[in-house]
A and B are shown apart, each in its own frame.
Chain A
Amino acid sequence: MIGLEPLLVSPTSLTEAYTLLAPTHGADDGAGPWRPIAGGTDVMVQLAAAAGEAESSTAETPSGPGRLLDLWGLDELRGIGLSEDGRELVLGALTTYTEIRRSPLCATHLPALAEAAATIGAAQIQNRGTLGGNVVNASPAGDTLPVLLAADARIVLGSARGERSVAAVDFWPAYRRTVRADDELVLRLRIPLPTRREMRFRKVGTRRAQAISKVVVALAWREDGGVWRDVRLAFGSVAATPIRAHETEAVLEGAAPRQTVADHAVAVLGRELQPIDDIRSTAAYRSAVAGRVLHRLLRDAGGW
């Protein structure tokens, strides 16, 4: 069993959550910042690990989060819909992977996100894990994050101070870091829906379910008179954060998916990506696979 049972508070409205998170209720009472928790698929694992450390250490103070802000009851943060002008897909932060997989709107407008959701964990995780959680957990291996990057998603944060929206490309400044302030919550994701955008998603892991990615890729473009425009190439698990491969994108921008273009893009990608060795894979494998996956996606798109 778990030895540490931190205080958990379940606000019933966003306003109540904002009040709890406001700095006057924050660090000055010695309890430290609130740790928001949604489906628990990351936070509960981290709590268990902290409890294990506390049991095996002689330290007086455990390292786990002092208190949890339970978001699960905030229905304001659920739901998938279109913006009023119909130009954006809007997903509440508490949208689960199961809900994404079942959503007709996602199937129509952003099937790559549904594909990504289907590769995360298995039924147990998909029923609980949330899109907002994937975003704030800020793992470089978060499987939806390359899709969000390739889709030019914006992440809407809210607090008692108001709301702001941050482009996905600016959201993860460093390993496991986000630009979210302690008093802010991720409220929703806004994904623009340009006409004729195509997107492809690939995840490479040890098995189809329950695997953490070795490499995860999302590629988006709009075809315009035989060439590609607005190319977005995003990767997970190959850097300290989810990233876009801007140099490789530049090779593909304004080009057509021909073999010579693909060869060149892969060569540039090989120089651009600087993955590392870790417990899940090696830098060499990740580089090789990233290039192969890109080549294959271009070949499929070009029909050669």
Chain B
Amino acid sequence: MSIDVVVNGERAALDVPGSRRLLDVLREDLGLTGTKEGCGEGECGACSVLVDGAVVDSCLVPVAQVAGRSVRTVEGLAGPGGRLSVLQRAFLETGGAQCGICTPGMLIAGVAFLESGAAATDEAIREAIAGNLCRCTGYTKIVEAIALAAERGAGPDAGAGHEAGAGAEDAGADESAGPDDGAEPTYPPGSR
């Protein structure tokens, strides 16, 4: 059975059993290992992806149900040349990522929230990531990261949540760049 799906903007024709978990197809068949398995039962949110823009736990989605739909994973967040999105950079700046296991899911939940256009109040952000467990940060820095990204205009009008406006692309050094020595962080590392 062939399942046609768009993953991070690219078409894929999957020849896999329809009851296979979307999570396993992403990781094992498509090599997109950024999406993590935590609990495998819809409690922890580590495997969160966007399906047609809605955040879901990919461990609970039989792959047949994404036929004809668009899936976005953490690998799809960075822009051309691996330029990190506003939200990813905000996570780096605030210390919103520590061990990293929850981070892909937190980013995806954060993107779903930012793209919803909802006002980025503390309470709204906390509700938006209530389905994502983190055992390192105590959540505060993650909430700060999402609020920071919202403040910087990562919202429904910012396309994929990349730098608002084209200016950032040609600006070279950017004062708000990442925490290290001025080189802008990219994904995968060194991909520029």
Interface residues of A (CB under 8 A from B): 1-2, 5-10, 37, 39-41, 44-45, 47-49, 68, 70, 72-73, 98, 121-125, 127-128, 208-210
Report whether B131 and A124 are in contact in the complex, using a CB–CB cutoff of 8 Å: yes
Report whether A125 and B18 are in contact in the complex, using a CB–CB cutoff of 8 Å: no
CB-defined contacts of B21 to chain A, threshold 8 Å: 1-2, 44
In the bound complex, CA of A6 to CA of B64 (Å): 12
In the bound complex, CA of A45 to CA of B127 (Å): 23
CB-defined contacts of B181 to chain A, threshold 8 Å: none
Q: Which of these, A1, A7, A125, contacts B28 with CB under 8 Å?
A: A1
Report whether A2 and B131 are in contact in the complex, using a CB–CB cutoff of 8 Å: no
Interface size class of B (residues with CB under 8 A): 20 to 34
| List of 4 A-B pairs having minimum Cβ-Cβ separation, nearest first | A122-B131, A209-B130, A8-B19, A8-B18
Contact with A along B115-150 (1 / 0, CB 8 A): 000000000000111111000000000000000000
Q: Which of A5, A9, A73, A121 is the most central at the interface, judged by chain B CB atoms within 10 Å of its CB?
A: A5
In the bound complex, CA of A231 to CA of B186 (Å): 61
Report whether B48 and A44 are in contact in the complex, using a CB–CB cutoff of 8 Å: no
Report whether A2 and B24 are in contact in the complex, using a CB–CB cutoff of 8 Å: yes
Interface residues of B (CB under 8 A from A): 17-21, 24, 28, 40-43, 45, 48, 54-57, 59-62, 64-65, 67, 109, 112, 127-132
CB-defined contacts of B109 to chain A, threshold 8 Å: 123-124
Report whether B62 and A40 are in contact in the complex, using a CB–CB cutoff of 8 Å: yes
Report whether B55 and A127 are in contact in the complex, using a CB–CB cutoff of 8 Å: yes
CB distance from B19 to the nearest CB of A (A): 4
CB-defined contacts of A122 to chain B, threshold 8 Å: 45, 127, 129-132
Q: Given A45-B41, A70-B62, A210-B43, verify A124-B57 contact (CB < 8 Å).
A: yes
In the bound complex, CA of A196 to CA of B132 (Å): 40
In the bound complex, CA of A5 to CA of B24 (Å): 11
CB-defined contacts of B55 to chain A, threshold 8 Å: 123-124, 127
Report whether B61 and A128 are in contact in the complex, using a CB–CB cutoff of 8 Å: yes
CB-defined contacts of B24 to chain A, threshold 8 Å: 1-2
In the bound complex, CA of A122 to CA of B28 (Å): 27
